[in-house]
Structure 1
């Protein structure tokens, strides 16, 4: 998934907002809280995609080649793709959707309702 494809996909999720921060990172939020990032962290020119995940997904993903605990965010159960193709696009999209749901689920009922995400 390219950065442009990542941005288009994230923009299609409900109640999202997008900012560029941390030296040109594409940061996607729901209710002001980050759920996915595409950036060039550390050395190298290739992009890296990071996202929030469940405890179980975190434990499984960090054992997979090309996936690591996300720098600075691992304690909050974030993972980062170290190389393109570490996850098939279909799987990556499913994890991004799950990340969106996890973060949206942590918002207050009032905030979810205001964003049109109420149950």
Structure 2
């Protein structure tokens, strides 16, 4: 997946916004909460997303995938795919969608209501 494909994919989800921060990283949020990041690792794209505890344990040690710098060290279950070919584009999209759902599910009811009727859905793409 390229950075442009990542941005297009994330931008197609309901109630998302994009900011560039943290050293030119593309940061995607649903409401005020981050759900996906594309930054650089040794001059190449690196994709970061939230996962459940089981996925964190299973995938965190796979070649080209690691606990996300800064986020995982704070006890959060975020992974970073930092090598080309470590994960297929289809699987990466699935994990980004799941990250979006996890982030929305962790919001208060009031926050979710503020996102609009179909927030939490990735079908807007």
Unaligned runs of 5+ in 1: none
**37, 48, 51: which one aligns with 1:50:** 48
Total equivalences in the alignment:
117
**Does the 8 A contact of 2:27 with 2:34 survive in 1?**
yes
Q: Which residue of 2 aligns with 1:28?
A: 28
**Does the 8 A contact of 1:50 with 1:80 survive in 2?**
yes
Higher relative contact order (CA 8 A, sep 6+): 2
Return structure 1 stretches of 4+ with deviation > 2 angstroms: none
Cα RMSD for the two superposed structures: 1.4
The alignment's TM-score, normalised by the length of structure 1, stands at 0.93
**Does the 8 A contact of 2:27 with 2:37 survive in 1?**
yes
Query: Is residue 114 from structure 1 mapped to residue 114 from structure 2 by the alignment?
Result: yes
The alignment's TM-score, normalised by the length of structure 2, stands at 0.89
Equivalence map 1:1-119=2 (5 Å): 1-41=1-41, 44-74=42-72, 75-116=75-116, 117=119
**Does the 8 A contact of 1:31 with 1:107 survive in 2?**
no
Residue 63 of structure 1, CA deviation: 2.2
